[in-house]
Structure 1
């Protein structure tokens, strides 16, 4: 990708627009998983080729991700509900040693959110769940957890109209950090150079 300031501003605007598109596609709730997967695939394409995918390609990705995204959304809602119930039970004092147990419970919940962030990155390639498990090494998981928690914190502090751009920026940050920490998604590897210089072996001088 280019690094001029105009390109940086353009990319920031594109990510904000992507966040609005993902939010709009996720409004029916049952399409939330497919919307995130489609946005993630679009960011992956942008990082690989410095261009955005065609709308028709995005629509195909959205359709393919509907059923898997619905299952992922249902699992996420169930896990969040279980964490809330556990936290409320600990805060009520019904469980002995509640103050000590709340901290590890919240740490596990945060790690779960980080894994969900890795899953959003892996959703841009084949076999998202298996890929996310492979990516869930300490460094990528810690980076994804930090990105997700920071995004949620900012979403709680800013005006609601600014939340959709945060989704786009958060997805972009997850992809960038996953790559920089060594977590790869199948198909994301850059092609080898095909320039004439790289194809021609250097000749030894006699």
Structure 2
């Protein structure tokens, strides 16, 4: 990862005053995001470290967005160590919730459990909403240096209540990533992790942006 500036965000001025990034900067940013995804995936391979890996990756991405450069290796490792234990609890809860929703969806779609198309649709919507809420929580974790899952979840809940469209946006981002992971080669999945984190942060920033006064 390099110390190059992050791409322009929606809240920055548009038009002649805005500076369009050079194609080399765009390529460098895309490469950095791909590398971020690969590093997060490798750190999550033991499974129990998945929560800490995602939280630390989100924090590093937030630092890049806010400061235009990536944090150093030592701060990242320090954040990862602090996030390990809380991340294990979050991983267990996340895996359990995902397993329950997936089993229910498969059972309904195969007719093992009665309910028909309506319950399949309801379960699919709930699954997408859960994924969107998890994504929004990860964004909040990034804003908190990867610490405080409960605080991040409560903050995500407040955002959903105040701006329901944010949940739709993050749910769409997670759903798109899941579809792409299912359609393309599994070897490219780690790269998508970085782009998904970026998409979650960008979507949240856009949809929670305060409207300009006047």
The TM-score range, normalised by the shorter chain, is 0.7 to 0.9
Q: Identify the residue that residue 158 of structure 2 maps to in structure 1.
A: 134
Q: Identify the residue that residue 163 of structure 1 maps to in structure 2.
A: 189
Aligned residues: 184
Q: Name the CA shift for 1:89/1:158 in 2 (closer, same or farther; >3 Å).
A: closer
Larger Rg, first or second structure (1 or 2): 1
Q: Identify the residue that residue 182 of structure 1 maps to in structure 2.
A: 208
| Counterparts of 2:33 and 2:23, CA distance in 1 | 15
| Counterparts of 1:96 and 1:161, CA distance in 2 | 37
Q: Secondary structure at the match of 1:28?
A: coil
Whether the 8 Å CA contact 1:40–1:171 is kept in 2: the answer is: yes
Whether the 8 Å CA contact 1:144–1:174 is kept in 2: the answer is: yes
44, 47, 64: which one aligns with 1:29: 47
Name the TM-score, length of structure 2 as normaliser: 0.80
Q: Secondary structure at the match of 1:124?
A: helix
Structure 1 unpaired stretches of 5+: 185-206
1:154-178 alpha-carbon deviations (Å, 9 max, x no partner): 1111112211110000001110110
- 5 Å-filtered alignment, 1:65-80, equals 65-80=83-98
| Counterparts of 2:209 and 2:138, CA distance in 1 | 13
- 5 Å-filtered alignment, 1:53-92, equals 53-91=71-109
Residue 96 of structure 1, CA deviation: 4.0
CA RMSD of the aligned region, Å?
Answer: 1.7
Comparing 101-110 with 87-96, greater Cα deviation is found at 87-96
